[in-house]
Structure 1
Amino acid sequence: MVTVQAKLIFEGGEDKQRVLDLMRRWSSCMRYAYKRLLEGYKRNELKRQLQGIFNLNSRYVDDAIMKAKSVLNSCKERRESPKKVIFGGRQLFEKLQKRHINGDQYRKLQLKWQEKRKGNLYSRGDRSKKGNLNTRIEIDGSLTKLRINVGEKEYVYATIQPGWKVKGGTYRDRNQLLQAISTLGEPYSVELKLKNSVVYAYFTVEEIFPKSEITKSNGVIGIDTNAYPKHIAWVETDEQGQLLEYGRIPMPELESGISSKREYYRWQYAHMIVEMAKDNQKAIVIEKLNIKDKGKRGDFSGRKSRRIRHYFGYRLLLEKVKLLAKREGIEVIEVNPAYTSLIGMLKYAPQFMVSKDVAAAYVIARRGLGLRERIPHNYMMFLSRLDVNELEELKEYVRKVVKNTYVRKKQLREIGRVIKFLQSLESEAERLSVPLDGTSTGSRGENHNLWRVLKVAVVTPLSPDRVLRDMSVLKSLLVSGQVGKTYKGVSSCFLGQGLWLSQKPPAGAGKA
């Protein structure tokens, strides 16, 4: 959907007043319909009744009932009480109840709340009427006007002032876009809102996309978004999933700044990704993100993490990529992002000597092609020798060595889950019979647990107190099944081989 925001200029004060009266009656009709829906009334019962009460035609009444239903359904989806809805905004309403606010400040808040409560009008488009019957865009020479039905065959004309925001895309000439919408004959919806005594119009039309000609049959480009540091990791593969090229796009502009600036740069980065796919004739594979609040305060691991994710806007960026790709006829494939970073870190980062983010993008690309990830043979042999007692020993070691409370709790919790998983496997035969793909439908799948077991058993001993960045240490184990080089002074003989960790003295120790 493309939404164009514009300001309405009326020829006289009387025309504007008639439109404001229409908006007031429609808003009252919508609130009245909402109350009746709570009481169990049906649409057909309400429609004729509301026309007489609020002096509105059947189309306006139908749109008011539809809006009331959408508010009701939204409350049910959020598991909130529909009876506690406050039209005009709960936050403003609660501010007005505070006794310490008075004078001009109180009157401004009251005016703002009344405008949000009473200054609304919505009119749906109709394909059979070639656009919108109640609020129609008309071209008058060089001007674009909006014809508003305010009564029985009574209309008010308002000039549409171009140059305002467009949601869902970027266009150089908004006036030209509105004229194109009016002449195509496609249905478009119009919503009027009153803000600071000015009437704004929002025109929404469904965009028609061309058929996707660039598909995954030519290969794909996998995209992995990363909030810290802010960048996009990308990989290009052929149709069989073989790695061709990779890189990263840093995005420092999304670190801070006003929302309009960040929005502008999101569009720029989305254009870069789509142009890359278009030049290489590849489909785009992205993560199907469903970001939910985590942690006690609902802010992931703290205030810093919450701020990073707020400024980055994963979903906003990926939605722009999807929209621009559809306009160019490029296929966009969304995949489940679960365990992509973990699989990439353990399997492809040491194999191709790339960063974890690039490896995660490669896993995403392969999922888009329908390929399934299996644990390499040497890793599987390593898991078959893994012992619960050694994990218990690792648990005690982490408890003693790691000073960071947050990291220690996370590591201990992860090791505990792995121990429970291994204890649930009664024999070697049962352990090896577990499916080894890394693309299970649920996060509790046993195959995913095997990747988690591998992470705890291999990565945690190497770097128990911090995130391991250099994955090249795993290459020897991945390729030959042998222990690789040490990491930052830690001598490691992996779990399952009967030896433990010992700290090496720093360089130069013991010298005079």
Structure 2
Amino acid sequence: MEKEKTRNPHAQIYHRLRQLFPELPTKYIDSAIYKAKQYPTDRPVVFGGKRLFEKLCKNHLIGEVRERLKKQWRELRQGTLIGIGSKHKTAQGNLLLRFMELDGKLHLRITTGNREFIYAKVLREPSNSKELKLRDGEVYGSVSFELPTPEVKYTKEKGVIAIDTNASPIHLAVAEVSKTGELLSYQTISLHHLLGLSQNSKDQQEWILTHKIVDLAIQKGKAIAIENLKKLKKGNRGDGKAKLRKRLHQWNAKKFLQKLKRVAMLKGVEVVEVNPAYTSTIGMLKYAPQLNIDKDTAGAYVIGRRALGFIEDIPENYEKLLKDKAYLEFALKRYEEREKELREIMEKESNEYKRNALKSELKSVEYAKKLLIHLIQSLQSESSSCEGANGRNPEQGRVAKTTLQSAWRVLRVALLFPILGKVLPRDISPLKPVLVEGVWDRVRSRLVPLEVGGTSR
């Protein structure tokens, strides 16, 4: 009895598992124990998931619903297989899980015991998972292995090749940016041909494309700049944007960029990820009209400049617009008319999905009105409030700071629809007179009559 108390806990678990699974190769047991050691010991663990376990404990679940949850819980609890190998010379790698070529295709050989094997087809998809998992009766898994990381030879010291992914139309915008922030060259790569391909063919074409982009970076001696897509918007069911959601479902930008990062790493090219906030807006409002380029290329250009550490200032004439009460009232009038128009259309529209799209636009219009009203009120409070010491308004600093923090969002609202008549226009060139000269009164007279005076001159 005393001998049983002093036995190594590892050995106790090992022998107990041998009793429960006598046909299982012992290496799987060692791997499972290794995995179990990674779990925290200071709090309870529910294998199969605490959320599912608590649902199954509820008595009101019966019939097919309960059986489906029970199957899902069993798969999560028992359907994970881990096989850990060794890179030691005498270990011969992983004896349980091995890659093999069968009929010209890569397979994973899974040892089940007594020299019996299962052969699983390999899909070359990047993943953070390191286990085989059972899901809906199918086995899914991924394998991690160490690769020698080449020395990074191509960094952002000489500039970057910036990539912007776009869904409508689906393509990549590629911009070459010098170390001093100038746009040197650009191109557009259509991805439309990928939409009709099988997953395997799509993966193959994506790998080929990533190699071409990385080779371009090597040729130019530059790093690669991309968006950090952890918060990539995919759209919501019922938002009236079914075509866009379908396109996003057919092509996963995040997975493509993961492939791109992997190829770049293997070829010694630095990849710089940047915060994507307002890159499209800044490119659309600032660089598209200024450089006569499309808004997607301009967005890629901003990504490249941000990767190099440049901060985007608001153009002087745009700042003047945000302080021009007459222009802001003109913009507000445009949104009020659009709001009235949308409500009239919604009353006549019976199609649910079209109504959802109209509701989405109406919500954006209402939000734009609030921003503009707040900005107009801020300008009025500045001019009507009492002056402080040395003739300065004590509230002016606070208002200016608030305006600066949301300036690009307000600019988007104040410029795009009021001047171009669309929230996401393809042609940005009409903004050039506003950007360069600050001229907006001709736009006002062309689009809508407005009984207010003043121009931005």
The count of aligned residue pairs is 398
Deviations 1:111-168 (A, max 9, x none): x9989875653122445686657648699xxxx9989697xxxxx5568979844444
1:454 corresponds to: 411
Structure 1 counterpart of 2:82, from 122, 145, 151: 122
Determine if contact 2:335/2:418 at 8 Å carries over to the other structure.
no
Name the CA distance, whole Å, in 2 between partners of 1:470 and 1:294: 25
Unaligned runs of 5+ in 1: 1-43, 87-92, 99-109, 151-155, 170-188, 437-444, 501-512
Distance 1:466 1:341, change over 3 A: closer
Aligned residue type for 1:122 = I
1:77-96 equivalence runs, <5 A: 81=51, 83-84=53-54
Aligned residue type for 1:414 = A
2:16 corresponds to: 53
1:39 corresponds to: none
Name the CA distance, whole Å, in 1 between partners of 2:73 and 2:231: 32
Unaligned runs of 5+ in 2: 1-6, 19-25, 57-62, 101-106, 346-357, 384-392
Deviations 1:467-508 (A, max 9, x none): 322211111121122238759x944799996479xxxxxxxx
Distance 1:377 1:96, change over 3 A: closer
1:62 corresponds to: 33
Determine if contact 1:212/1:330 at 8 Å carries over to the other structure.
yes
Determine if contact 1:350/1:473 at 8 Å carries over to the other structure.
yes
Determine if contact 2:339/2:365 at 8 Å carries over to the other structure.
no
Deviations 1:263-311 (A, max 9, x none): 222222222211211221111100001235676x457653222211111
Determine if contact 2:224/2:272 at 8 Å carries over to the other structure.
yes
Name the CA distance, whole Å, in 1 between partners of 2:179 and 2:399: 29
Determine if contact 1:145/1:157 at 8 Å carries over to the other structure.
no
2:382 corresponds to: 427
Secondary structure of 2:269's match? coil
Determine if contact 2:175/2:304 at 8 Å carries over to the other structure.
yes
Determine if contact 1:223/1:284 at 8 Å carries over to the other structure.
yes
Name the CA distance, whole Å, in 1 between partners of 2:240 and 2:225: 28
Determine if contact 1:231/1:251 at 8 Å carries over to the other structure.
yes
Instruction: Tell whether 2:264 aligns with 1:307.
Output: no
Distance 1:138 1:300, change over 3 A: closer
Secondary structure of 1:213's match? coil
Equivalent pairs: percent with the same residue?
29
Determine if contact 1:284/1:330 at 8 Å carries over to the other structure.
yes
Secondary structure of 2:309's match? coil
The CA RMSD measured in Å over matched residues stands at 4.7
1:174-323 equivalence runs, <5 A: 203-291=143-231, 297=236, 301-323=240-262
Structure 1 counterpart of 2:287, from 338, 342, 348: 348
1:328 corresponds to: 267
Aligned residue type for 2:53 = K
1:173 corresponds to: none
Distance 1:497 1:264, change over 3 A: farther
Name the CA distance, whole Å, in 2 between partners of 1:311 and 1:219: 32
Aligned residue type for 2:425 = L
Distance 1:136 1:343, change over 3 A: closer
Aligned residue type for 1:52 = H
Q: Which moved more, 1:57-66 or 1:212-221?
A: 57-66
Structure 2 counterpart of 1:414, from 368, 381, 387: 368
Secondary structure of 1:322's match? helix
1:23 corresponds to: none
Determine if contact 1:322/1:332 at 8 Å carries over to the other structure.
yes
Determine if contact 1:283/1:333 at 8 Å carries over to the other structure.
yes
Determine if contact 2:163/2:172 at 8 Å carries over to the other structure.
yes
Deviations 1:332-381 (A, max 9, x none): 00001111111111100000011110110000000000000000111112
Secondary structure of 2:225's match? strand
Secondary structure of 2:406's match? helix
2:22 corresponds to: none
Aligned residue type for 2:294 = S
Secondary structure of 2:187's match? strand
Determine if contact 1:63/1:122 at 8 Å carries over to the other structure.
no
Aligned residue type for 1:54 = L
Aligned residue type for 2:427 = D
Secondary structure of 2:320's match? helix
Name the CA distance, whole Å, in 1 between partners of 2:120 and 2:411: 59
Q: Which moved more, 1:413-422 or 1:280-289?
A: 413-422
